[in-house]
Chain A
Amino acid sequence: MDIFFQQIINGLVQGSVYALVALGYTMVYGILGLINFAHGEVVMIGAMVALAALQALLAAAFAPVLAVLLSLLIAVAACMALGYSIERIAYRPLRNAPRLAPLITAIGMSIVLQNLAMMIWGREYHSFNLPFTSNSHHLGGAVMNDVQIGIVVVALVIMAGLMWLVHHTRTGRAMRAVAENPAAATLMGVDINRVISVTFMLGSALAAIAGFMVSANYGIVHYYMGFMLGLKAFTAAVLGGIGNLRGAMLGGVLLGLIESLGAGYIGDITGGFLGSHYQDVFAFFVLIAVLVFRPSGLLGEKLAERA
């Protein structure tokens, strides 16, 4: 039973990160019908910038807590600028192109960003240590540390904030209107380009926060870290129903749990034949299963709304 609770906790922590990244995928898809495959790379850049900022701030003798908060803010700002630029440079010129063109551009953008990060930060793993100790707490037989509690709490607050923004503000209404019917929205005076820019910037801000979280949790950053994380978050978005915000959150947490429980028990189930390093298999098994049995996802209703 201890393993069970421990895996639930691990799953919730990892799922919170997936959920934040999945929201970025799903928001862009909802508005443009585009899978932004460069989104995982934005998470990686967020982590890299946060690490660089944190080291610089600590070297400049900032108080540890202040340095952590400031580096997070710097990463968020950098990623918002990056997200805005990606859309302007890579996607806007292809707005009216066939759907395959922006998809290929997205993959290209992803490769460009990875290589850029490799040139700036090198191919080696960097350790990402927070400048304070993270105390562990025993809950039943399971352990959860301060960083993990922080990740779940911050993710919950941000997701609640995003839902409020989308459903109860002028900006959010404009986003939903564009997602539902771009032609009608523009005739109501909504500037579609502006809404798209805001969407990319919001998604990228969430990606930066997720990048910080995942780095703080594992204590490591690497130029390739965005690839697998991005793919899994995309899987989470598809699982929940791509284009649906609640679906992205639900899909993220579920995927985290499935992966974590799967990794925890795969050894027992296969009699030791397969070990926990097969955990990535579960995410993609889920992706295949969803695409075969429920392609619209758990909360998605309308498939092929955009032809």
Chain B
Amino acid sequence: MTQASDRLLDLNSVGKHFGGVIALADVSLHIRQSEIYGLIGPNGAGKTTLFNVVTGLYQLDSGSFQFAGQSYTRCKPHLLAQAGIARTFQNIRLFANMSALENIMVGRHLRTRTGIWGALTRNAAARAEERATVQRARELLEYVGITCAHQTLAKHLSYGEQRRLEIARALATEPKLLALDEPAAGMNATETVALKALLQKIRASGVTVLLIEHDVKLIMGLCDRVAVLDYGKKIAEGVPEEVRRDPAVIAAYLGGETTTSNLSPLPQAGEG
């Protein structure tokens, strides 16, 4: 089995509830270095809650998780970002009134130092850092395939570009783990193909990818391993083919019907 040292993220019996609603119950996951790990499940299964827990937006109620050898139970989001977890959101959360370039430059915040004094005195170190930040932001825009319009406000970009800009902004933090919450939602077929290529490129660069997605075809074609959540519990885990044939998964998705050909797009409204 997996060596502990290959593991990047270990969730140990993580639980989270909101009042009487159990969002996550005793969920354990082990994500290895440099794999693409898919997380699927019906709406309300707890996928986004799990993301919010590992990025520090929610504090977990029981269990703990280890990231890169460090154990966390309560931690502020900016410190987890520092540790190397970056994410995107299901409903895009860019800085809408800042330019595409500036959005990525905010992502560099973590890896840059200039304080207010450096900014006011404009010393050599501050100027060099600012130049490097702009340079890196341009490279990242190109990397995710947004070539034109660096100065365009984020809110004026097309939907697909906004999704890719969010990925670029997350990459700017130099993450070890990139957590993507439904990156293909609302994309057309061409854009999804491009996204798949981008995610493979990101994995090849050594970044581990954790992916929530409803597009089952994308998940099956991209992920090394997949876990399925249903009502806050992990009901299956394994390589995509295995999971696809798992009766519990089929029951969860299709209410007991046994069709394997097309599990894809279920309605995607209102997941918290």
A residues with CB within 8 A of B:
165, 168-174, 176-177, 180-181, 183-192, 198
Interface string of B90-107 (1 = CB under 8 A from A): 000111111000100111
Q: How many residues of B contact A (CB 8 A)?
A: 35
In the bound complex, residues from chain B placing their C-beta under 8 Å from that of A165 are 116, 119-120
In the bound complex, residues from chain A placing their C-beta under 8 Å from that of B130 are 168-170
Closest Cβ of chain B to A122, distance in Å, is 36
- Cross-chain pairs A/B with CB under 8 angstroms, 8 sampled: A165-B116, A169-B114, A170-B105, A170-B109, A171-B116, A183-B57, A187-B55, A189-B107
A170-B114, A171-B119 are contacts. A189–B109 as well, Cβ < 8 Å? yes
Residue of A170, A174, A186, A187 ringed by the most chain B CB atoms within 10 A: A187
Extra inter-chain contacts (12) besides given A168-B130, A187-B78, CB under 8 Å: A165-B119, A170-B109, A170-B112, A171-B115, A171-B116, A180-B95, A180-B98, A184-B93, A186-B77, A188-B172, A189-B81, A189-B111
B residues with CB within 8 A of A:
55, 57, 76-78, 81-82, 86-87, 89, 93-98, 102, 105-107, 109-112, 114-116, 119-120, 129-130, 133, 169, 172-173
Complex CA–CA separation, A202 to B114 (angstroms): 17
**Cβ-defined contact, B97 with A180, below 8 A:** yes
Complex CA–CA separation, A142 to B129 (angstroms): 49
Closest Cβ of chain A to B135, distance in Å, is 14
In the complex, the number of residue pairs spanning A and B with C-beta atoms less than 8 Å apart equals 88
**Cβ-defined contact, B77 with A187, below 8 A:** yes
**Cβ-defined contact, B78 with A181, below 8 A:** no
Instruction: Tell me whether chain A's interface is mostly helix, strand or loop, or mixed.
Output: helix
**Cβ-defined contact, A188 with B173, below 8 A:** yes
**Cβ-defined contact, A189 with B102, below 8 A:** no
Closest Cβ of chain A to B170, distance in Å, is 8
Closest to B172 in A: A188
In the bound complex, residues from chain B placing their C-beta under 8 Å from that of A170 are 105, 109, 112, 114, 119, 129-130, 133
Residue of A169, A188, A190 ringed by the most chain B CB atoms within 10 A: A188
Closest to A189 in B: B110
Closest Cβ of chain B to A207, distance in Å, is 17
A171-B116, A174-B109, A177-B106 are contacts. A192–B95 as well, Cβ < 8 Å? no
Closest Cβ of chain A to B200, distance in Å, is 24
Residue of B97, B106, B111 ringed by the most chain A CB atoms within 10 A: B106
**Cβ-defined contact, B109 with A184, below 8 A:** no
Closest Cβ of chain B to A306, distance in Å, is 14
**Cβ-defined contact, B119 with A184, below 8 A:** no
**Cβ-defined contact, A198 with B116, below 8 A:** yes
In the bound complex, residues from chain A placing their C-beta under 8 Å from that of B93 are 181, 183-184
Closest to A180 in B: B95
